[in-house]
């Protein structure tokens, strides 16, 4: 876990940084891709547009006069003509297939509805190594909704910063998706964002940003790092709550690590707020945690209530999720993509996990501000 440093230091970042010392026997790059998951019905979309890897005439066959495009970018370019009023949702029904394109969504209220994570895949390999800064690798804007698809950056662990999804969207809702990358996978940049039943894969600083984010029933999966490196899920200047979680032996006894261990600054030791409550497992021993003002072990359930999911999940955010029409529960099942291991698993309602990927018993940790109980996978 970490604090301090990075460009967002002066703002309120939203994620804990968990320093995970990887045990021996880490899986190689030959892991399996996610098992495709069945799409769940979404409320009727009067302005839905179909995107399919088929030729347009084949795509339209059997769909009457439905608009049909062979790329997401082409469909978005036509959004103004197809749905002239910004207040209307522009729904893209994205059929099974792999879409190799950089998707930049500048229109409000866009919905990407796939046919299952592992079935509908939006992928690319832009990264800092290829000369593409993280601000340009993937972007969405206000009112963005996504369901049942995979968003992937294939730059690999040597690609350095390589964002799979950058959301500058207030009122983002991502449900039943898989967001896959290595360094800087998910950039939750600003606004209120909610991630439900979603898998997030990465190695270094792979969930970060200045958003006020809620992660419910999510799996955060740590992939194999470069040789001699450890994995960090980033945060700085933040408030983090860990409670009712199973913490495995892979969690370092210090619990938290500063961005620059040679220059530990006040922002790290005092301004951050790292709270632990009612955790179990070998990693839950707090006797050797770093001696920082901002790191606290809470023993009073009444005190932790104000940091809990019930207290932190704002009514406006709850209303937005309900208005989106996304179901509040998911029964999807996934398996790990390449570079990770682990069998298929399902999470019950009100749980989330960070999974350390190796061949030993997997450990789970909460991801950020507002998480309910975590599950050992």
Give me the residues paired with residue 215 across strands.
Answer: 195
Strands 18-20 and 231-233, bridge-based pairing:
antiparallel
**The three-state (H, E, C) secondary structure of the chain, written as one string:** CEECCCCCCCCCCCECCEEECCCCCCCCCCCCCCCCCCCCCCCCCCCCEEECCCCHHHHHCCCCCCCEECCHHHHHHCHHHHCCCCCCCEEEEECCEEEECCCECCCCCEEEECCCCCCEEEEECCCCCCCCCHHHCCEECCCCEEECCEEEECCCHHHCECCCEEECCCCEEEECCEEECCECCEEECCCEEEEECCEEEECECCEECCCEEEEECCEEEECCCCCCCCEEECCCCCEEEEECCECCCCECCCCCEECCCCCCCHHHHHHCEEEEECCECHHHCCCCCCCCCCEEECCCHHHHHHHCHHHHCCHHHHHHHHHHCCCCCCCCCECCCCCCCCCCECCCCCCEEEEECCCCCCCCCCCECECCCECCC
Question: Tokens in use for 71?
Answer: 């790329």
- Taking Cα atoms as reference points, which of 140, 205, 130 lies closest to residue 166? 140
- Residues classed as catalytic: 205
pLDDT 10s digits, 348-370:
222 333 333 322 222 222 333 33
* pLDDT, position 311: 46
- Taking Cα atoms as reference points, which of 250, 163, 170, 155 lies closest to residue 211? 170
CA dihedral sign, ordered 44, 45, 51, 54: positive
* pLDDT, position 179: 93
How far, CA to CA in Å, does 359 sit from each of 21, 27, 206, 244? Answer: 14, 7, 21, 24
Strands 178-180 and 97-100, bridge-based pairing:
unpaired
Q: What residue has token string 């832009």?
A: 126
**Cα(355)–Cα(250) distance, rounded to whole angstroms?**
10
Along the chain (377 residues), what's the average pLDDT of each consecutive run of 10 residues?
35 26 26 39 59 74 68 86 70 91 85 92 65 53 88 74 83 90 84 85 80 76 75 59 64 74 65 75 83 82 65 50 54 38 30 31 29 30
Question: Tokens in use for 338?
Answer: 């390449």
Question: Tokens in use for 239?
Answer: 């408030």
**Cα(52)–Cα(43) distance, rounded to whole angstroms?**
20
* pLDDT, position 359: 24
Report how far Cα 34 is from the mean position of its chain's Cα atoms: 16
Angle, CA of 251, 290 and 282, to the nearest 5°: 30
Question: Tokens in use for 79?
Answer: 């959004």
* pLDDT, position 377: 26
Question: Tokens in use for 240?
Answer: 């983090």
Angle, CA of 124, 326 and 355, to the nearest 5°: 55
**Cα(236)–Cα(137) distance, rounded to whole angstroms?**
22
Give the strand order in the sheet containing 207-208. Answer: 165-167, 186-188, 207-208
* pLDDT, position 113: 92
Other Cβ atoms closer than 10 A to 174 = 30
- Over its C-alpha atoms, the chain yields an Rg (Å, rounded) of 20
């Amino acid at each position: 876990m970490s604090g301090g440093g990075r460009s967002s230091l002066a703002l309120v970042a939203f994620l804990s940084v968990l320093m995970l010392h990887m045990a021996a026997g880490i899986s190689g790059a030959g892991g399996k891709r996610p098992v495709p998951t069945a799409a769940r019905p979404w409320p009727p979309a009067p302005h839905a547009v179909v995107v399919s890897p088929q030729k347009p005439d084949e795509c339209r066959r059997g769909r009457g006069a439905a608009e049909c495009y062979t790329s997401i970018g082409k469909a978005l370019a036509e959004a103004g003509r197809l749905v002239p009023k910004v207040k209307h949702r522009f729904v893209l029904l994205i059929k099974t297939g792999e879409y190799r394109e950089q998707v930049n969504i500048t229109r409000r209220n866009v919905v990407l509805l796939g046919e299952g994570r592992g079935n509908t895949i939006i992928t690319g390999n832009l990264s800092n190594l290829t000369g593409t800064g993280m601000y340009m690798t993937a972007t969405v804007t206000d009112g963005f909704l996504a369901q049942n698809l995979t968003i992937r950056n294939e730059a690999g662990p040597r690609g350095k910063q390589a964002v799979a999804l950058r959301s500058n969207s207030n009122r983002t809702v991502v449900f039943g998706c898989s967001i896959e990358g290595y360094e800087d996978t998910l950039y939750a940049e600003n606004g209120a964002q909610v991630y439900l039943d979603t898998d997030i894969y990465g190695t270094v600083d792979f969930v970060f940003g200045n958003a006020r984010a809620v992660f419910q029933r999510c799996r955060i999966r740590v992939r194999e790092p470069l040789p001699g490196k450890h994995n960090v899920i980033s945060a700085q200047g933040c408030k983090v709550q860990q409670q009712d979680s199973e913490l495995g032996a892979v969690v370092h006894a210090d619990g938290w690590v500063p961005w620059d261990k040679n220059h530990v600054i006040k922002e790290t030791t005092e301004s951050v707020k790292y709270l632990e409550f009612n955790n179990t497992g070998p990693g839950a021993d707090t006797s050797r945690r770093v001696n920082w003002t901002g790191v606290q072990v809470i023993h009073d359930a009444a005190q932790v209530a104000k940091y809990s999911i019930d207290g932190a999940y704002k009514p406006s955010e709850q209303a937005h999720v309900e208005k989106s029409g996304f179901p509040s529960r998911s029964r999807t099942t996934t398996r790990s993509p390449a570079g990770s291991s682990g069998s298929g698993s399902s999470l019950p309602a009100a749980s989330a996990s960070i999974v350390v990927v190796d061949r030993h018993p997997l450990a789970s940790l909460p991801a950020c501000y507002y998480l309910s109980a975590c599950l050992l996978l």
